[in-house]
Chain A
Amino acid sequence: MTLPPEVGTGAETAVPEAVLVGAGPAEGRSLGQIAWMRLKRDKVALGGGIFLIFLILVAIFAPLIVKYLGYPPNEFHQELIDTAGGTLTPIGRFGGMSWDHLMGVEPVNGRDIFSRVVYGSRISLLIAFLATLLSVAIGTTLGIISGFIGGWTDTFTSRLMDVFLAFPLLVLAIALAGVFPDQAFGLEGNQLRIALLIFIIGFFNWPYIARIIRGQTLSLREREFVESARSIGARRGYILRTEMLPNLIAPILVYSTLLIPTNILFEAALSFLGVGIRPPTPSWGGMLSDAVVYYTQPHFMFWPGMAIFVTVLAFNLFGDGLRDALDPRANR
């Protein structure tokens, strides 16, 4: 498993180098059509997918949503806090939940939790998506090349994967994020943080995708249609582009979808440990970290925790469904 051990979801699909993985597209109807039919039948996966679309819309329209349903995410409302008694917790049950503040307010400063969760979705999704993109880009490229060309290239890439796999990922991520200065490469502040997090999460996770793609490539390489393409004199680049890549899209798509929730959890873990996004910008992991201090009243942990949970669950459900739809031999 290449992912940080306590933040993993895809162990069952990571395989050691010594194993071949077989897969192949269904013949007959186009893959896309078959997959879509299967997906439509899978209500739960569909539900996950719909939720994801909803989430993405929320992230995109966050400012609008907050304008009508909440308050500015960094605005204090200390009149809602028990300052007289000294507990500094919101007045009212369930952390001050009310029609005004749908999820209650934070202790000490009285910020609206609903708005912060909504804005937090932007950070989580942005980082997770871009990091996944980075992993997939690197992983697919290296996986295809090493699987297809074989020989020394393959050995070298496999050794490289070993190096990355041997890293105690969380330790190094914390170290890097903690040690990195506030200004570098022309960026600063939260922009730099976000770029750094995308880099750390994305860059160290590429072996996960690469291994799978390599395995798929290895098996595809031996199949007849590739043989026949070669026999009519097709060049390597052509074969890669027109024969292999379309058949690899399925696993790429599936494992990307399954990698995203891992990355969400990873970013949350980094924020929780204090090396993620800087305050006051809200992020789910950061909100959990703040809320931990009031752990005897878990209201404050509840909303960001549930946000992470439901998002990760939706991605998993959808990703599972996608995998089942695209891969007929997976018996789930």
Chain B
Amino acid sequence: MFAYIVRRLLWAVLLLIVLSMVTFSIFYLIPQLGGASPETLATRYVGRAATAETVHLTAERLGFFDPVPVQYWHWIKGVLVGAEYDYGAGVEHCPAPCLGYSFITKQPVWPELLDRAPVTISLVVGASLIWLVAGVTVGVISALRRGTVFDRGAMGVALAGVSLPIFFTGLVALAFFSYRLGITAPGGQFVPFSENPALWAYSLLLPWITLSFLFAAQYARLTRAGMLETMSEDYIRTARAKGLPERAVILKHALRGALTPVVTIFGLDVGLLLGGAVLTEKTFSLNGLGKYAYDGIVNNDLPKVLGVTLVAGFFVITANLIVDLLYGIIDPRVRLE
């Protein structure tokens, strides 16, 4: 087991490096397909009506004249040991992990990531708990009342949740609940938990519900399927024959078996979402990692995008690892090699 973990961790580090290389390539190599030069790349980071001189100086300052592998090396070195940043009137030391300075705002990326991570984490953790509880509950009840109106209705609504694009549901929900009815917070109103827990929850209420609507569907269906399967197993019949109360039968025995795949998927979903809730954050104007990434891409701000990609990759890889480990523990049939 220990060896397995170590191997996976090493693999995780390798993956992160590969990820950063791919991102680098996208920003530097793809434009060259269209014939871009270091100067043309730099024109995005100067103001209006910049002279050719300014563009050249900027390209120089941002290191565009170095070959791409050299630029990458500088960046990796910064991540590992830190880097120096020349702000004109002086030089600032950027401690490790130094993920660079935004090309546009010239702010260091790592502190900004740390600043925005709580928003995404709040969004995802809140929504995931809601969809887990709601989805599983609805799934269990649906399984128990199979074929009834509740079952059909719930599964139908579940299907709808899965079929609607979140930027559509989100916008309609915002327009209706926030602006027309005024019962939920309008977009962009995040309040940190440390500042005011009640307002924090209020500001995230609509995004939580909209996002979990999307996922609860799958979890309801999954739980329902799992429950139906376990409930028809022999050991459930045995438990009932032994005289156990129905509640114990369902919750202690059937549900546990049904939940294994759910837990697996849950871990993967949360991991992915932590790194990529771009659509939700953009729709609700939440300043999280997703929106940060989107802003970075739209402005061709490579340091920002690199930073978020790494963080996202980290979350996904960690989630994958945790889930695989858990699965190895929960299900004795599985052997981790």
The answer on direct contact between A and B (beta carbons under 8 Å) is yes
Indicate which residue in B211, B225, B232, B328 contacts A6 across the interface (CB closer than 8 Å): B211
Q: A167-B313, A265-B165 are in contact. Are A273 and B320 (CB under 8 A)?
A: no
The A interface, classified by DSSP as helix, strand, loop or mixed, is helix
How long is the Cα–Cα vector from A273 to B313 in the complex, in angstroms? 22
Q: Looking at B22, B162, B333, which has the most chain A CB atoms within 10 Å of its CB?
A: B162
CB pair A301–B160 under 8 Å, yes or no, is no
- What is the size, in residues, of chain B's interface with A at 8 Å between Cβ atoms? 76
CB pair B168–A301 under 8 Å, yes or no, is yes
How long is the Cα–Cα vector from A15 to B282 in the complex, in angstroms? 29
Say yes or no for A245: interface residue by CB 8 A criterion: no
Q: Nearest Cβ in chain B — how far from A174, in angstroms?
A: 5
In the complex formed, the residue of B with least CB distance to A179 is: B30
Q: Which residues of A contact B279 (CB under 8 A)?
A: 6-7, 170, 269, 272-273
Surface stretch bound by B, among A77-85, A92-100, A306-314: A306-314
How many A-B pairs have beta carbons closer than 8 Å: the answer is 200
Indicate which residue in B30, B218, B331 contacts A19 across the interface (CB closer than 8 Å): B331
Q: Which residues of A contact B55 (CB under 8 A)?
A: none
Indicate which residue in B22, B298, B324, B328 contacts A178 across the interface (CB closer than 8 Å): B298
How long is the Cα–Cα vector from A179 to B15 in the complex, in angstroms? 23
CB pair A178–B171 under 8 Å, yes or no, is no
How long is the Cα–Cα vector from A1 to B211 in the complex, in angstroms? 16
Mask, A261-278, CB within 8 Å of B = 1, is 100010011001100000
Q: A17-B324, A19-B331, A288-B167 are in contact. Are A5 and B15 (CB under 8 A)?
A: no
Say yes or no for B49: interface residue by CB 8 A criterion: no
In the complex formed, the residue of B with least CB distance to A178 is: B297
Q: Nearest Cβ in chain B — how far from A15, in angstroms?
A: 7
Indicate which residue in A179, A265, A268 contacts B31 across the interface (CB closer than 8 Å): A179
Indicate which residue in B31, B309, B327 contacts A168 across the interface (CB closer than 8 Å): B309
Q: A166-B19, A183-B34, A317-B159 are in contact. Are A5 and B308 (CB under 8 A)?
A: no
How long is the Cα–Cα vector from A153 to B308 in the complex, in angstroms? 32
In the complex formed, the residue of A with least CB distance to B298 is: A178
Q: Which residues of A contact B308 (CB under 8 A)?
A: 168, 171
In the complex formed, the residue of B with least CB distance to A262 is: B162
In the complex formed, the residue of A with least CB distance to B294 is: A174
Q: Nearest Cβ in chain A — how far from B284, in angstroms?
A: 12
Q: Which residues of A contact B163 (CB under 8 A)?
A: 9, 261, 309, 312-313, 316
Q: A171-B309, A175-B27, A309-B165 are in contact. List 15 more A-B contacts (CB 8 A).
A: A7-B279, A12-B218, A14-B265, A16-B327, A19-B331, A20-B333, A168-B313, A169-B276, A172-B22, A172-B23, A176-B30, A269-B165, A288-B167, A288-B168, A331-B228
